[in-house]
Amino acid sequence: MFVSARSDYALRAMLAVAAAAGGGGGDGGGGDRVGELAKAASLAEVQDIPLSFLQGILLDLRRAGLLHSHRGADGGYALTRPADEITVGDVLRAVGGSLTTVRGLPAERAGYHGVAAGLTDVWLAVHGAIATVVDSTTLADLLTHAPANPTPTPTPPA
Amino acid sequence: MFVSARSDYALRAMLAVAAAAGGGGGDGGGGDRVGELAKAASLAEVQDIPLSFLQGILLDLRRAGLLHSHRGADGGYALTRPADEITVGDVLRAVGGSLTTVRGLPAERAGYHGVAAGLTDVWLAVHGAIATVVDSTTLADLLTHAPANPTPTPTPPA
DNA sequence: ACTCTTCCTACCAACTAAGTAGGAATACTG
DNA sequence: CAGTATTCCTACTTAGTTGGTAGGAAGAGT
């Protein structure tokens, strides 16, 4: 599996939006107490993503119906659905297209012949295995699973 | 998962080599009755792979220890192990490096912080799921499974 | 010697990813 | 109604990778 920077950033941004709204982390970025809208600039800072690049990604996410946006002063982004109804797969597909590609084409139309005919089934099986993982993991899962790293670290950075 | 042309060609070439040695398909390419060595030129023709490109791939496969080669007239390639001891994963790793990459790096050293910390586990789970499929499928499996498609389809297209 | 084949290096064109820049639309504030 | 903050959108640049080609050198048999 190849996870591009774009996909990676998209996931991190979605998690940061979810945390800002649901009151999870409070990663100490800008300290904005606006309520539920997260600004692109603060997302970029919290997760170390180039701002201009992130804006294009947020646009894709909004077009895919995962984010709701609001312009003007006090604008920002929010999830369109609760964090436990958005899966990792949703985000990946929104910015990256198909989950599995063979020579640039979706797995099911690889077009093999002769002794290679069986390969299609392999790609389909791989595709299914990946989908099972990413479609059963929600943003909420990722936020609550708080692993070894206890997130808050209230001590200010350097 | 992203399967590059290189990986795809490698798999198809390996299957063609296995078929030539084991006497499986007989895809009607050149009709060489040499015995067990498959020539690059005939592999390229049988599976529609650019010859010069294929030669580089075969080289990688040989360096990875999956193929044995012989030069000169009556030269060619053969598997170093029986087809049921070579998995799809072996071939993929030989030409493509790591099976799962995040922003160009192997999955386990993604380096997340804050609310994104849980992502590492997702990539690891995906990696495991892919590995399970590709490491449990051997070349022999693919050759014997001969699916619904009975290859020749002698009727010419439009 | 001659021919056949693998081996190896260098090269090229096209595409994509990653990131930048600048401005237009929109919404709130005073 | 002016002003400002923010999203929105397009176009561009830069660098790396992928897919593919060319041309020979090294080795093996006849």
Tell me what the pLDDT averaged over chain A comes to. 83
Q: What is the pLDDT of residue A117?
A: 92
Distance from CA of A134 to the nearest CA of B (A): 7
Q: Binning pLDDT at 50, 70 and 90, where does residue A4 land? A: very high
Q: What is the pLDDT of residue A38?
A: 92
Yes or no, beta carbons of B99 and A1 under 8 Å apart: yes
- Tell me how many residue pairs between chain A and chain B have CB atoms under 8 A apart: 162
Residues A64-83 pLDDT 10s: 999 999 988 888 999 999 99
Looking at beta carbons, which pairs linking B120-127 to residues 24 or more positions away fall under 8 Å?
B120/A147, B121/A145, B121/A147, B122/A88, B122/A133, B122/A134, B122/A137, B122/A142, B123/A1, B123/A3, B125/A133, B125/A137, B126/A1, B126/A130, B126/A133, B126/A134, B126/B100, B127/A1, B127/B99, B127/B100
Residues of chain A contacting residue B27, judged by C-beta atoms under 8 Å apart: 114-115
Q: What is the pLDDT of residue A91?
A: 96
pLDDT tens by residue, chain B, 158 residues: 889 999 999 999 999 999 998 654 444 333 333 348 999 999 999 999 999 999 999 999 999 999 999 999 999 999 999 999 999 999 999 998 888 899 888 888 788 888 999 999 999 999 999 999 999 999 999 998 755 444 443 333 33
Least confident of A33-37, A46-50, A56-60, B104-108: A33-37
**Distance from C-alpha of A137 to C-alpha of A90, rounded to nearest angstrom:** 10
**Distance from C-alpha of B78 to C-alpha of A76, rounded to nearest angstrom:** 61
B74: phi then psi, degrees, rounded to nearest 5: 65, 20
Yes or no, beta carbons of A115 and B15 under 8 Å apart: yes
Say yes or no to pLDDT of A157 above 60: no
Q: What is the pLDDT of residue A96?
A: 83
Torsion over CA: B121, B123, B126, B132 (sign) = negative
Residues A78-131 pLDDT 10s: 999 999 999 999 999 999 878 889 988 888 888 898 899 999 999 999 999 999
pTM score of the predicted model: 0.85
Instruction: Scan residues 72-91 of chain B and list those with Cβ within 7 Å of strand D.
Output: 72-75
Yes or no, beta carbons of B119 and A27 under 8 Å apart: no
Task: Using CB atoms, pick whichever of B18, B110, B115 lies closest to residue A151.
Answer: B115
Q: Which nucleotides of D are covered by protein (CB under 7 A)?
A: 3-11, 17-23, 26-30
Residues B8-49 pLDDT 10s: 999 999 999 999 986 544 443 333 333 489 999 999 999 999
Q: What is the pLDDT of residue B146?
A: 52
Say yes or no to pLDDT of A35 above 50: no
